[in-house]
Amino acid sequence: MIVAGNWKMFAGPDPRMLAERLAGVDGVDAIVCPPYTELAACVEAGLTTYAQNVHWEPEGAYTGEISAPMLLALGVRGALVGHSERRQYFGETDAAVARRARAALAAGLGVIACVGETQEERDSGDMETVLRVQLAVIREECGIDDGLVLAYEPVWAIGTGQVATPELAQEAHAFIKSLLDRPVLYGGSVKPGNAAELLAQPDVDGALVGGASLEIDSFLSICEAAARSRS
């Protein structure tokens, strides 16, 4: 069970206080994905820390980017790639996402690669095609790498309060695993109140939490639900 908190462009909770509280929770790998300015503080606090993105080159003229060796030197253990906000607002393509993932894995970082369909794609019956394409490119670049974790994040569920039903999440996760057999986290409006039933699904291997990871109490309660779900 993995619970990753994506702080996005928010300062997030105090890393030391979060680390102290997480020390009391067994049976779950908790990860934080803070903004770049908080990476060092999270590492120093002893949190398993992932960046929110990573470039495919080790260095170069790529303004605004960060490389895998730079993250490793800071003690960062992995990175998100392909979050829908990156795809939506910053034009990240499937090919760029897969290159980022490959370089990070090759450098020894863990990777959480996000996939998911928009409402429009779901309504027009294209959900499986979208997932198939997103995953095919990742699979082609990365293979079935041990460091790779996937996150199913239906875009219509992110930050909307409109969570996928447990049945719908289970169905999508099973489909994703049939294409690329790695652990799959669910993301999109995961809250303390809905985490247990989502995490009870056999193919839901954890959660990628946005808004609810910004408060220690709500993030802790989701981590505890994850720990209970497999005990």
Q: How far is the CB of 22 from ligand PGA (least distance, A)?
A: 18
The answer to whether 153 is a known catalytic residue is yes
| Smallest distance from ligand PGA to CB 158, Å | 4
Find the residue with minimal CB distance to ligand PGA. Answer: 210
Spatial distance between the Cα atoms of 5 and 33, rounded to a whole number of angstroms: 6
Residues 184-223 that bind ligand PGA (CB under 6 A): 187-190, 208-212
Contacts of 58 (CB under 8 A, 6+ apart): 67, 68, 69, 103, 107
Q: Is 51 in contact with 71 (CB distance < 8 Å)?
A: yes
Strand 206-209 vs strand 184-187: parallel, antiparallel, or unpaired?
A: parallel
Kindly state whether residue 13 participates in binding ligand PGA, applying the rule CB under 6 A.
no
Cβ partners under 8 Å of residue 6, min gap 6: 33, 52, 80, 83, 187, 208, 209, 210, 213
- Residue 176, SS3 per DSSP: helix
Choose, from 38, 83, 117, 224, the residue flagged as catalytic.
Answer: 83
In the shown chain, the binding pattern of residues 78 to 97 toward ligand PGA, with x for contact by CB under 6 A and - for none, equals --------------------
How far apart (Å, rounded) are the C-alpha atoms in residues 143 and 184?
Answer: 15
Q: How far is the CB of 28 from ligand PGA (least distance, A)?
A: 17
Q: Say how many residues touch ligand PGA, by CB under 6 A.
A: 13
Compare residues 8 and 177 and give the one whose CB is closer to ligand PGA. Answer: 8
CB of 153 to ligand PGA, least distance (A): 6
Q: Which is nearer to ligand PGA, 94 or 153 (CB)?
A: 153
How far is C-alpha 196 from the geometric centre of its chain's CA atoms? Answer: 18
Q: Which is nearer to ligand PGA, 107 or 212 (CB)?
A: 212
| Rounded Cα distance, 139 and 124, in Å | 25
In which region does residue 154 sit, left (phi positive, over 0), alpha (psi from -120 to 50) or beta (all else)?
A: beta
Q: Which is nearer to ligand PGA, 218 or 229 (CB)?
A: 218
What would the x/- binding string for ligand PGA be over residues 148 to 167, using CB under 6 A? Answer: -----x----xx--------
Torsion 225-43-33-140 (CA) sign: negative
Q: Is 83 a catalytic residue?
A: yes
Please identify, among the stretches 14-22, 42-50, 170-178, 182-190, the one whose residues bind ligand PGA according to the rule CB under 6 A: 182-190
Q: Which is nearer to ligand PGA, 18 or 212 (CB)?
A: 212
Q: What residues make contact with ligand PGA under the rule CB under 6 A?
A: 6, 153, 158-159, 187-190, 208-212
Residues forming the active site: 83, 153
